[in-house]
């Protein structure tokens, strides 16, 4: 296994000039299945899939995406689908959700409060627009504890007034990952008036032109 990981690390080094680098580590897939993309983007071509428990090597990242190499696949996976492993046991290292309270106000903007005690935020610095479709990261936090409850990539079609959230992660009350999804074929849904989706659409469709 050590020889295998060394070979994978060599491939990584030769393939990833220009991306943020870190010490080569082993990661393990924690979701039932995860898509591997050709480039660090949800809309990029899916070049393969990896299954829960599969071990991969990684030493480069861009934003929330990590470049991984396995026995039969090579490409980018979302951070919510993997965890670093303990070198001695090869078991996932349980990492708590990072506390972004020091920089939160600089990068996230509250745009709505819902009746179920949730605060809604969007990250304008990561907003992207392609044609009439705006992609933007959205977070929800508990109104009382301020704990992070979910992070998701929302896509809003400004012309068709429809939305979807093809990738995201949810968190438990103590801040650990509860679940995640990554589906480029996630269905579009019409935006209903006087909803959270309409509030966000009015903001992003106006300022992303």
Where are the alpha helices (H) located in the chain, listed in sequence order?
Answer: 2-15, 104-107, 196-207
Between residues 11 and 208, which one has the greater pLDDT? 208
pLDDT > 60? residue 20: no
- The domain that contains 186 carries what CATH number? 2.40.128.710
For 37-89, what is each residue's pLDDT tens digit?
888 877 778 899 998 889 998 877 776 788 898 888 889 888 778 887 755 55
pLDDT > 90? residue 3: no
Asked if residue 89 belongs to a domain, the reply is no
- The domain that contains 71 carries what CATH number? 2.30.30.40
The predicted pLDDT at position 208 comes to 59
- Torsion over CA: 106, 99, 181, 192 (sign): negative
Range of the domain at 76: 2-84
Computed over every residue of the chain, the mean pLDDT equals 78
Judge whether 157 and 149 are in contact, CB under 8 Å. Answer: no
Name the strand (E) or helix (H) holding 165.
strand 162-171
CA distances from 125 to 26, 63, 105, 141 (A): 30, 12, 12, 19
Judge whether 75 and 48 are in contact, CB under 8 Å. Answer: yes
For 102-150, what is each residue's pLDDT tens digit?
333 447 788 898 887 899 998 877 788 888 898 889 999 988 888 889 9
For 170-189, what is each residue's pLDDT tens digit?
998 877 888 888 888 889 99
Q: Work out the number of other CB atoms within 10 angstroms of the CB of residue 145.
A: 11
**Is 108 in the same domain as 144?**
yes
The predicted pLDDT at position 207 comes to 67
Asked if residue 202 belongs to a domain, the reply is yes
């Amino acid at each position: 296994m050590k020889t295998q990981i060394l070979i994978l690390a060599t491939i990584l080094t030769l393939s990833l000039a220009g991306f943020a680098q870190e010490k080569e580590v082993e990661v393990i897939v924690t979701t039932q299945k995860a898509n591997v993309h050709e480039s660090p983007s949800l809309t990029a071509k899916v070049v393969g899939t990896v299954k829960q428990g599969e071990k991969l090597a990684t030493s480069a990242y861009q934003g929330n995406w990590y470049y991984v190499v396995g026995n039969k696949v090579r490409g980018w996976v979302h951070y919510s689908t993997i965890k670093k492993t303990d070198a001695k046991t090869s078991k996932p290292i349980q990492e708590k959700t990072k506390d972004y309270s020091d920089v939160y106000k600089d990068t996230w903007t509250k745009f709505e409060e819902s009746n179920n005690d949730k605060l809604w935020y969007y990250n304008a610095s990561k907003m992207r627009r392609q044609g009439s479709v705006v992609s933007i990261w959205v977070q929800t936090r508990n109104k009382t504890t301020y704990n992070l409850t979910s992070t998701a990539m929302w896509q809003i079609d400004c012309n068709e007034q429809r939305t979807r959230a093809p990738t995201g992660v949810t968190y438990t009350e103590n801040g650990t990952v509860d679940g995640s999804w990554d589906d480029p074929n996630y269905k579009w849904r019409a935006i209903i008036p006087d909803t959270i989706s309409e509030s966000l659409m009015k903001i992003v469709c106006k300022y992303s032109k």
